[in-house]
Amino acid sequence: MSQSTSKVESISSTEQEQPHVLSIPLSEQQTDRSPHSHERWLLSKLLRMAGSPPVRFQLWNGEMVAPDEGEVRFTLHLKDPKALYQLVSNPNLAFGDLYSSGRLDVEGDLPDLMTELFRSVNDVRERWPKWLDALWRSHNPRSTGLAEAKENIHHHYDLGNEFYSLWLDNAEMQYTCAYFEKDDLSLEQAQLAKLEHVCRKLQLKPGQTVVEAGCGWGGLARYMAREYGVRVHAYNISKEQIAFAREEARRQQLDHLIDYIEDDYRNIDGQYDAFVSVGMLEHVGKSSYGEFAGVIQRALKPDGMALVHSIGRNRPMLMNAWIEKRIFPGAYPPSIGEFMEICETGNFSVLDVENLRLHYARTLEHWMERFEQHEDKVTELYDQHFTRAWRMYLAGSIAAFRAGGLQLFQVVFTPGENNALPQNRRHIYGKPAAPEET
Amino acid sequence: MSQSTSKVESISSTEQEQPHVLSIPLSEQQTDRSPHSHERWLLSKLLRMAGSPPVRFQLWNGEMVAPDEGEVRFTLHLKDPKALYQLVSNPNLAFGDLYSSGRLDVEGDLPDLMTELFRSVNDVRERWPKWLDALWRSHNPRSTGLAEAKENIHHHYDLGNEFYSLWLDNAEMQYTCAYFEKDDLSLEQAQLAKLEHVCRKLQLKPGQTVVEAGCGWGGLARYMAREYGVRVHAYNISKEQIAFAREEARRQQLDHLIDYIEDDYRNIDGQYDAFVSVGMLEHVGKSSYGEFAGVIQRALKPDGMALVHSIGRNRPMLMNAWIEKRIFPGAYPPSIGEFMEICETGNFSVLDVENLRLHYARTLEHWMERFEQHEDKVTELYDQHFTRAWRMYLAGSIAAFRAGGLQLFQVVFTPGENNALPQNRRHIYGKPAAPEET
């Protein structure tokens, strides 16, 4: 089903747009020849460059290339010679592509392998020569201008509500980090706990007005209206999500409290008691941070509270090339310093930052487990290539949060002159945020 | 008592080091002449430039210069013509100096006046011409190198333990922001609550080792040893504070658990379970942030926790010139973004940021109340000039925290690879942090 494959590769998947992937002669696609000695050398070198993770390669003829020393816990099957050259010339991009197409396969737990690889590379990357780091890591993330943002978001979030409902929680269809305030919460409990946690941080009161930038399937807006009696304007440029959100609000008889608005966050108007954005900043793009700060500044009343929840980093770094090209066009997770610059630009006072990194690893583990339970259905909806790409995306994300490559920041801030501040943060911890059952 | 006056003015108090203060002919010091019309115009202009606060001037001959419109709640007495010219040419520096020397006096509550002035200037400063902003605000903070740091710290913290004990809490002599988790806490309760709050954020366990950078009179180190059974290495370059700290530890029979080390934070050695620094970053100076990050990086075990508590800003800005020159040489409060850059430089993962801005306003109100109760004693120890300078410093600080010019950040962070993280922040809020009485 080629239409669905295009969901993964529709944007810049042609070779001329991947300048770092060498053009390989057709003869190298033969799988009936023996590997050359320089090919074995290249893979050994690659393993050393990656910090010697517990990984070996099995080549197309069954031959093994193992690390010089140490244990081996994972085997990577390279199915043809071209795959070897693609991997070596741009591992960052090719690993995901080769895995998606089945030309690279993995023996061993995929999230565990990715965690090992990230940790191992993390330890050695600073010792790489600059040119290699540039060759392997640099890429140009897609623009996040008004028109492109629509295309970027459509690419991912309009894959179909049926698809997402297969593996997201069935409480409020949350496609962002859950809050596992206790380890044994179900995904549904933890997602509702996240919504409650956000509302407590904002100290919502009945009758207040809230604007939400990037509302997904509308779950937070419904939770705020239902549990806190506030009026919500919720913006999103994903057609399918907005349609779902509206229907669900009607079903829950909350539509008199919520306006789901199919429009860009840059077009938010009005002034509100609270601004909230959960999982949208990743798509704003660094070049639009000033605009984002300006939007919040205009949207907040002088004593308004804002909460922005976003994937982030400990240090500035481009989004992983494969994720940016195949999964999240235009995505860029800010470093905590870049995040704070947004607050500085808007002349906000930062009141509270919480890092929920390991909560996202756990959330993704739940998603991946459900995803794998429905793999056949996903392949039926799309195709094998899509299923493998998404498995890699979920596994790689688990690994990035485990290994510390990605963080999850919740930042609460308010206009710099506002003195109507909470006395302390005890109001967030009065009683459990999660419902006893769902 | 000129020796004590030098405590306030010992560093760069000569006119050639204050390039923005015009040199005024001696004739302008006559107080028996009438004000000129251009002098009245200058003061009216100054009020407008300051955003028209509810303030009027009373000149040396009794004449008033009031704002064009609006109420008047404060009167500033200018005692001689030279004071007028000094104020107009560099209000930032001259206001404090003129007040200290008694050539400017204030009718009305001093913290309230300063709050009004800061708020009013804050609203208009962005509209000032660039040259004026540069003229009034720019100055070169003193260096914070190893040798200069010692001099800077000596200037302030070695004023004498007797002096500080007149107006700081009598629980643990804390010269940093207290934690008023409830509004009606005494200063003593709130300072002990701060110490407890810090320990809970660090999740200290008996037998752990802690290094403290800038330990003041040693109160936090004693609290950690006494209440949490940890071993502490506490660094400070203030001779008088270290002497007090050692004696107090002996008195409390905690000296087997605490080493007070009279040395610079840059010379910290060893690896610890926790790094803590409360109220020292303000003195580190921006140019030494990289070094500071490196010190913490070396000092922390891979699963170590760090907490840095510091005055900060919503946006980068120089320290107020008068405070930097007369009270805290070398001081620079970082913006939240600059604070995060320290964490980025050290490759740390920021886990928790809390802003306690209004707690510092309240702490300072307590200090000022006690200071005023002991004004006669302070003047006896030093002189009138010193007493007035410190009254201005305390009042101005109250105002800066009220008006949002200063923030108080507590930042918890850990090495980027550490996965031994708290599940949530509930452990900070289990029971009240303050003792029921002290």
pLDDT-derived band at A28, boundaries 50, 70, 90: low
**pLDDT tens digits in sequence order for chain B, 438 residues long:** 333 333 444 333 333 344 344 445 555 567 788 999 999 999 999 999 999 999 999 999 999 999 888 899 999 999 999 999 999 999 999 999 999 999 999 999 999 999 999 999 998 988 888 888 877 877 777 888 888 888 887 788 778 899 999 999 999 999 999 999 999 999 999 999 999 999 999 999 999 999 999 999 999 999 999 999 999 999 999 999 999 999 999 999 999 999 999 999 999 999 999 999 999 999 999 999 999 999 999 999 999 999 999 999 999 998 888 998 899 888 999 999 999 999 999 999 999 999 999 999 999 999 999 999 999 999 999 999 999 999 999 999 999 999 999 999 999 999 999 999 999 999 999 999 999 987
Question: The domain spanning residue A75 has which CATH number?
Answer: 3.30.1050
Q: Does B402 touch chain A (CB under 8 A)?
A: yes
Residue A16 pLDDT more than 50? no
Q: Are residues A158 and A219 both part of a single domain?
A: yes
Residue A230 in any domain: the answer is yes
Which of B314, B349, B429 faces A348 most closely, judged by CB atoms?
B314
Q: Which residues of B touch A426 (CB under 8 A)?
A: 181, 429
Cβ of B314 within 8 Å of Cβ of A351? The answer is no
Q: Give the domain range for residue A405.
A: 146-428
Q: Is pLDDT above 80 for A21?
A: no
Q: Are residues A44 and A184 in the same domain?
A: no
Q: Are B369 and B281 part of one and the same domain? A: yes
pLDDT, position A398:
98
Residue A112 touches chain B, beta carbons under 8 Å: no
Last residue of a domain, one of B102, B137, B172: B137
Chain-chain contact of B417 with A122 (C-beta, under 8 angstroms): yes
- pLDDT tens column, A97-130: 999 999 999 999 999 999 999 999 998 988 888 8
Q: Is residue A380 part of a domain?
A: yes
Residues A322-335 have a mean pLDDT of: 92
Which phi-psi region, left, alpha or beta, contains residue A160 (left: φ > 0; alpha: ψ -120 to 50)?
left
Q: Are residues A332 and A286 in the same domain?
A: yes
Closest CA to A283 of A140, A406, A96, A141: A141
* pLDDT tier at A282, thresholds 50, 70, 90: very high
User: Can you list the alpha helix ranges (DSSP code H) found in A323-356?
Assistant: 336-345
Are B358 and A421 within 8 A, CB to CB? yes
- Boundary-marking domain end, from A119, A137, A155: A137
Neighbours of A250 (CB within 10 A): 12
Domain boundary among B109, B137, B165: B137
The pLDDT of residue B2 is 37
**pLDDT at position A5:** 37
pLDDT of residue A67: 87
Question: What is the DSSP secondary structure assignment for residue A207, as one 8-state letter?
Answer: T
Note whether A315 contacts B182, CB cutoff 8 Å. no
Q: Are residues B132 and B239 in the same domain?
A: no
Contacts across the A-B interface (CB distance below 8 Å): 119
Q: Are residue B111 and residue B179 in the same domain, yes or no?
A: no
The 10s digit of each residue's pLDDT in A74-101 is 999 999 999 999 999 999 999 999 999 9
Domain assignment of residue A28, yes or no: yes
Q: By the CB < 8 Å criterion, does A425 face chain B?
A: yes
Domain count, chain A: 2
Asked if A134 has any chain B CB less than 8 Å from its own CB, the reply is no
Which domain CATH number covers A197? 3.40.50.150
Verify that A200 and A297 share a domain, yes or no.
Answer: yes
A124 and A184 in a single domain? The answer is no
Interchain pair B417, A425: CB under 8 A: no
Helices assigned H by DSSP within A229-288: 239-251, 281-284
Q: What angle do CA B226, B232, B235 make, to 5 degrees?
A: 125
Provide the pLDDT confidence category of residue A27 given band limits of 50, 70 and 90.
Answer: low
A197 and A78, same domain (yes or no): no
Select from A337, A344, A425 the Cβ nearest to the Cβ of B314: A344
pTM here is: 0.93
Q: Are B377 and B365 in contact (CB under 8 A)?
A: no
**Are B236 and B368 contained in the same domain?**
yes
> Does the beta-carbon distance from B347 to A403 stay under 8 Å?
no
Q: Is residue B244 part of a domain?
A: yes
**Which residue carries 């009141």 as its tokens?**
A351
Chain A residue with minimum CA distance to B416: A404
Residue of A nearest to B181 (CA): A424
Q: What is the pLDDT of residue B312?
A: 98
* Greatest Cα pair distance in chain B: 74
Q: Could you tell me if B119 and B58 lie in one domain? A: yes
Q: Taking 90 as the threshold, does the pLDDT of residue A372 lie above it?
A: yes
Contact A419 B402 (CB under 8 A): yes
Residue B436 lies in a domain: no
Collapsing DSSP states into helix, strand and coil, what is residue B354? strand
pLDDT score at A22: 46
Identity at A82, one-letter amino acid code? K
Report the residue of chain A nearest B118, measured CA to CA: A417
Structure-token match 């099995």, residue found:
A58
What three-state secondary structure class fits B300?
strand
